[in-house]
Chain A
């Protein structure tokens, strides 16, 4: 990893952190736990496309740990880690399958798996099977927000590619 790459990745991680923080200030769109835009995922998707899976994992981990340290509690760290990890595995495999094409599809699958991961944590913590009633809501929201972040990543990648990789 050369200095330029290290700097770029650090910048992207901070960008993801900033996006995550600004998003957490917005009031919840729907009063259902687990539904959020997931805008910070744009950065993960970008790194996945412009660099590789290992670098994207690094940026994601830095973002999750820093956000938990700076503004979160231990609880949200657990949700973020499980959702984020499952989402990342899904996105990395789909991205590899498509050779970086179709960021929307990649992101939609990421969104679906992120929400499944969060629901599994919620199920494990509350131990009430009734929380599975959230599954259809979470899947639909994962598809919609995934499509949105995927489109964002497509357009942002178009411009950032020239900046990051001259």
Chain B
């Protein structure tokens, strides 16, 4: 019994450590993401394929377009120089629409039923693979 208690204490310690580590990572990521000078490029993936990249800073006016899922269904995406969001979708859970507009690299938008991922990546961080062309 004593041995079991010891393992339980150890396990609780590990869980607390994990919790602190996660919070720390989130805090640090938030800190770097909220730098106002950073410009972002949106990366749209479907089924692991890069559909298109949109440099937000080069966007003159807000755009709205629809991405069809190969297995049926659609996501209507709204993008402006501020950020990108899924305005409308016919997926069952609607989580992608609820997430709203993302303006930094904290969290990508994912529509799991349609296997669609929208990521914002800072332009300067990976200077090597900055997009030099807009693919539509």
Q: Residues of A with Cβ closer than 8 Å to B? A: 28, 31-33, 73, 75, 79, 94, 97-99, 101-102, 105, 108-109, 112, 122, 125-128, 130-131, 133-134, 136-137, 139-140, 143
Q: Would you call A28 and B117 a contact (CB within 8 A)?
A: no
Q: Is the CB of B8 within 8 A of A105?
A: yes
Select the stretch in B12-20, B60-68, B76-84, B126-134 that faces chain A.
B12-20
Chain B contacts for A73, CB-based, 8 A: 92, 113
Task: Report Cα–Cα, A112/B16, bound state, in Å.
Answer: 12
A133 to B43, CA, bound (A): 15
Bound form: Cα–Cα A5–B39 in Å: 62
Q: Which of A98, A126, A137 meets B115, CB within 8 Å?
A: A126
Task: List the A residue with the shortest CB-CB distance to B12.
Answer: A105
- Least Cβ distance of A136 to chain B in Å? 4
- Is A133 touching B15 in the complex (CB atoms < 8 A)? no
Residue of B12, B110, B115 with most chain A CB atoms under a 10 A cut-off: B110
Q: B26 near A136 (CB under 8 angstroms)?
A: yes
Q: How many residues of B contact A (CB 8 A)?
A: 34
Selected contact of B93 from candidates A33, A109, A128, CB within 8 Å: A33
CB distance from B90 to the nearest CB of A (A): 13
Q: How far is the CB of B101 from chain A (nearest CB, A)?
A: 12
Q: Does B47 contact A (CB under 8 A)?
A: yes
Q: Would A131 and B110 count as touching, CB distance under 8 A? A: yes
Least CB distance, B71 to chain A, in whole angstroms: 9
Interface residues of B (CB under 8 A from A): 4, 7-8, 11-12, 15, 18-19, 22-23, 25-26, 43, 45, 47-48, 92-93, 95-96, 98-100, 105-108, 110, 112-113, 115-117, 119
Q: How far is the CA of A66 from the CA of B113 in the complex (A)?
A: 20
CB distance A105 to B108 under 8 Å? no
Chain A residues near B105: list those with CB within 8 A: 133
**Cβ contact within 8 Å between A108 and B15:** yes
Closest 4 CB pairs of A and B: A127-B48, A31-B98, A136-B22, A31-B99
A126→B11 contact, CB < 8 A = no
Question: What separation, in Å, do the CA atoms of A112 and B99 have in the docked complex?
Answer: 23
Q: How many whole Å from B50's CB to the nearest CB in chain A?
A: 9
Could you tell me if A143 and B19 are in contact, using CB atoms closer than 8 angstroms? Answer: yes
Contact A143 B18 (CB under 8 A): yes
What would be 17 A-B contacts, judged by CB atoms less than 8 Å apart?
A: A33-B112, A94-B11, A98-B8, A105-B8, A105-B15, A109-B15, A122-B110, A125-B112, A128-B117, A128-B119, A131-B110, A133-B105, A133-B108, A134-B107, A134-B108, A137-B22, A139-B19
